[in-house]
Amino acid sequence: MRFINSSYEGLKDHQATQLLFLFSLCLLSSINIIEATVQHLKWEIKYEYRSPDCFKKLSITVNGLSPGPTITATQGDTLIIQVTNSLITENTAIHWHGIRQRGTPWSDGTQGITQCPILPGETFTYQFVVDRAGTYMYHAHYEMQRSAGLHGLIRVLVPEGTVEPFSYDEERSIIVNDWWHKSAIEQSTGLLSLNFSWVGEPQSLLINGRGRYNCSLAGTTDVCDMTNTECLPFVLTMVPGKTYRLRIASLASLSALNLEIEGHDMTIVEADGHYVDPVIVKNLNIYSGETYSIIVKADQDPLRNYWIGLNVISRKPGTPTGTSILNYHPNNPLKVPPTLPPTGPLWNDTLYRFNQSKLIKSHPDHIEPPPPTSNRVIILLNTQNKVNGYIRWSINNVSLNLPTTPYLIAIKENLRHVFSKKPALETYKYKTYDIHSVLKNPNTTLGNSIHRLKFNSTVDLILQNANALSPNISETHPWHLHGHDFWVLGYGLGKFDPQINPKNYNLVDPIQKNTVPLHPYGWTALRFQADNPGVWSFHCHLEAHFFIGMGVVLEEGVERLGKLPKSIMGCGQSKSLVRT
Ligand SMILES: O=C1O[C@H]([C@@H](O)CO)C(O)=C1O
């Protein structure tokens, strides 16, 4: 067992238990010696001025970086991440997106759900095992801090000696996201105002934290400077003839994105930590919260550079193409390609996106088939509504309002009265709902209910899209499930028919994911096993949509958990628990 920068001192009880568990694994493993590493990371979260697209703005950094440092670990490693909140006036919490947190639900990092927020000046320690190789991400899960730049990538490598079902010479990582010049606070205040103030389309698209705003639009050179080296494009250098694995993560707040590498095919080989039956595409649609690995060959004209273009899809674009340079070594990295950057597919070509979603299947040698039937089917209707004049998003006519006492603590410590159990999700009568029309009465209610799933049961979640508050608008919503992967059984356009559509589910080789798109006016059918004791949110990964209610909270097997760490407590009614 290797220890990186580690020390036993100061470990909490549950941390010690986990180490003991790792030791036992080493002892028990007489055939394969499991080499598990414990990595200690110390992070400081801070506001700092940055100019990722030439426009100077406050960004949230991790140890001075936005995007934050990439975490690289090997399957089976334990990560101990000590997060100090130096935001001065804001709380924070960090979610490890795609890591299932088996046995450590209190480290999921969802404020209001699994923990109290980390107060300014305080330090909170996350500890968890990365139990499956793949590409994941981390990001703030507090208010709208993710869109201020608190995000980064997690690479979990396969154990030494394990062969992946594809080969490459080298690998690189790419984070894509959208960027506004209005702060996250301004955006969230606008969303919570009676006179709803919507931020609109992003000013820039960033690739590895770099974009380019046309400063002549900014009106003043004080805040926008196109000679600032911070906004030089990201350059991906490739050696002619070599093959590359690109790990791509979307940390967009709002935009569905399309990534194209001019003149180069992409072979999709991994999605959300699962191997894909390889498919070749000209460009990749990627939704907020998703990760992919693609294989790209440097097999084009080595005498020139090429554009990597990032475009908004699904919403009417108001943002220029984000660009990076694919540099063929040894050309000058900043040699401008002689062509125009890719403009991507038509933004409103839903069928194109729908068909690409359907292409993603499990790799034939890595199929873990889903249970053939489920114990419970929950249809989740996605609607845009109003509550006393405020715009909200709702699921089955309830708009989620997180309680001040996190659910995990409330359930385990007998404080269940802080939230309601009703209404049960299945009681919503969606049968007569016309998904193609604007609601005549858009009023709905706020709720903080939690939905208990029978431990180890198999659950189908059917996401159903509908028209928003304006006519002829149905948005794309990427849905993310915490604590689990689900099988993607099917996508459809139109209204889900519980009698007919399940007959066409893919039960043979569905991909497993943790984030999946719900296409405009369509449905997406998922199946998962409720086998991870804890409280888990399932929500739209668009920052603004979750912020105004678009999610549900699920619970399973909490009674099986041992004592909760006191470090997650201290807010709402859990204040009294830390005093005792
Ligand atoms: O949540 C949203 O609000 C606006 C619009 O529906 C109301 O202005 C928009 O485009 C969203 O995605």
Predicted interface score ipTM higher than 0.95: yes
Query: 196, 199, 391, 541: which to mutate for ligand 1, most atoms within 8 A of CB?
Result: 391
> How large is the C-alpha radius of gyration of the chain?
23
* DSSP code at position 352: H
Q: What is the spatial distance between Cα 118 and Cα 461, in angstroms, rounded to a whole number?
A: 32
Residue 8: how many CB atoms within 10 A of its CB?
A: 10
Residue 305: per-residue pLDDT = 98
Element (H, E) at 27: helix 13-28
Give the Å distances, CA to CA, from 556 to 114, 315, 546, 560.
Answer: 13, 36, 22, 9
The rounded Å distance from CA 198 to ligand 1 centre is 7
Q: What is the spatial distance between Cα 509 and Cα 59, in angstroms, rounded to a whole number?
A: 42
156 near 128, Cβ under 8 Å? no
- Please state the atom number of ligand 1 nearest to the C-alpha of residue 545: 1
Question: What are the CB-based long-range contacts (under 8 Å, 24+) for 410-413?
Answer: 410/573, 410/574, 411/450, 411/535, 411/555, 411/558, 412/558, 412/561, 412/564, 413/564, 413/574, 413/577
Whole-model pTM?
A: 0.94
Q: What is the CATH number of domain 368-579?
A: 2.60.40.420
Q: What is the spatial distance between Cα 569 and Cα 72, in angstroms, rounded to a whole number?
A: 29
- What are phi and psi for residue 192, nearest 5 degrees? -95, 10
Q: Which fold has domain 170-365?
A: Immunoglobulin-like (2.60.40)
Query: Domain 2-157 belongs to what architecture?
Result: Sandwich (2.60)
487 near 476, Cβ under 8 Å? no
Residue 78: per-residue pLDDT = 98
The rounded Å distance from CA 119 to ligand 1 centre is 31
Helix, strand or coil for residue 81? Answer: strand
**Cβ(23) – ligand 1 distance below 6 Å:** no
**Cβ(198) – ligand 1 distance below 6 Å:** yes
The rounded Å distance from CA 150 to ligand 1 centre is 23
Helix, strand or coil for residue 191? Answer: helix
What is the separation of C-alpha 472 from the centre of its chain, rounded to a whole number of angstroms?
27
Q: What is the spatial distance between Cα 82 and Cα 79, in angstroms, rounded to a whole number?
A: 10
Spans of all domains in the chain: 2-157, 170-365, 368-579
Helix, strand or coil for residue 3? Answer: strand
Q: What is the spatial distance between Cα 483 and Cα 98, in angstroms, rounded to a whole number?
A: 7
**Cβ(550) – ligand 1 distance below 6 Å:** no
Residue 164: how many CB atoms within 10 A of its CB?
A: 16
The rounded Å distance from CA 125 to ligand 1 centre is 36
- What are phi and psi for residue 508, nearest 5 degrees? -95, -55
- Please state the atom number of ligand 1 nearest to the C-alpha of residue 544: 1
Residue 16: per-residue pLDDT = 45
Residue 34: per-residue pLDDT = 55
Per-residue pLDDT of the chain (580 residues; tens, 9 = 90+): 443 433 333 344 444 444 444 444 444 444 445 567 999 999 999 999 999 999 999 999 999 999 999 999 999 999 999 999 999 999 999 999 999 999 999 999 999 999 999 999 999 999 999 999 999 999 999 999 999 999 999 999 999 999 999 999 999 999 999 999 999 999 999 999 999 999 999 999 999 999 999 999 988 778 999 999 999 999 999 999 999 999 999 999 999 999 999 999 999 999 999 999 999 999 999 999 999 999 999 999 999 999 999 999 999 999 999 999 999 999 999 999 999 999 999 999 999 999 999 999 999 999 999 999 999 999 999 999 999 999 999 999 999 999 999 999 999 999 988 888 777 888 888 899 999 999 999 999 999 999 999 999 999 999 999 999 999 999 999 999 999 999 999 999 999 999 999 999 999 999 999 999 999 999 999 999 999 999 999 999 999 999 999 999 999 999 999 999 999 999 999 999 997 5
- Per-residue tokens: 50: 């940055």
Cβ contacts of residue 534 below 8 Å, gap of 6+?
101, 105, 108, 114, 408, 483, 555, 556, 557, 558, 561
**Cβ(556) – ligand 1 distance below 6 Å:** no
The rounded Å distance from CA 369 to ligand 1 centre is 38
* DSSP code at position 418: G
Cβ contacts of residue 237 below 8 Å, gap of 6+?
327, 328, 329, 333
Q: How many residues does the chain have?
A: 580
Residue 35: per-residue pLDDT = 64
Q: What is the spatial distance between Cα 146 and Cα 254, in angstroms, rounded to a whole number?
A: 11
User: Among all chains, which residue has been given the structure tokens 């990760």?
Assistant: 291
Q: What is the spatial distance between Cα 484 and Cα 486, in angstroms, rounded to a whole number?
A: 6
Residue 580: per-residue pLDDT = 55
Which runs of E-coded beta strand occur in 388-423? 390-395, 398-400
Q: What is the spatial distance between Cα 24 and Cα 454, in angstroms, rounded to a whole number?
A: 30
Q: Whose CA is nearest to atom 3 of ligand 1?
A: 198
Looking at the DSSP assignment, which residues form a beta bridge with residue 3? Answer: 38
**Cβ(544) – ligand 1 distance below 6 Å:** yes
Q: What is the spatial distance between Cα 81 and Cα 562, in angstroms, rounded to a whole number?
A: 21
- Per-residue tokens: 8: 């036993």
Q: Whose CA is nearest to atom 4 of ligand 1?
A: 198
Cβ contacts of residue 558 below 8 Å, gap of 6+?
408, 411, 412, 533, 534, 535
Residue 417: per-residue pLDDT = 87
**Cβ(475) – ligand 1 distance below 6 Å:** yes
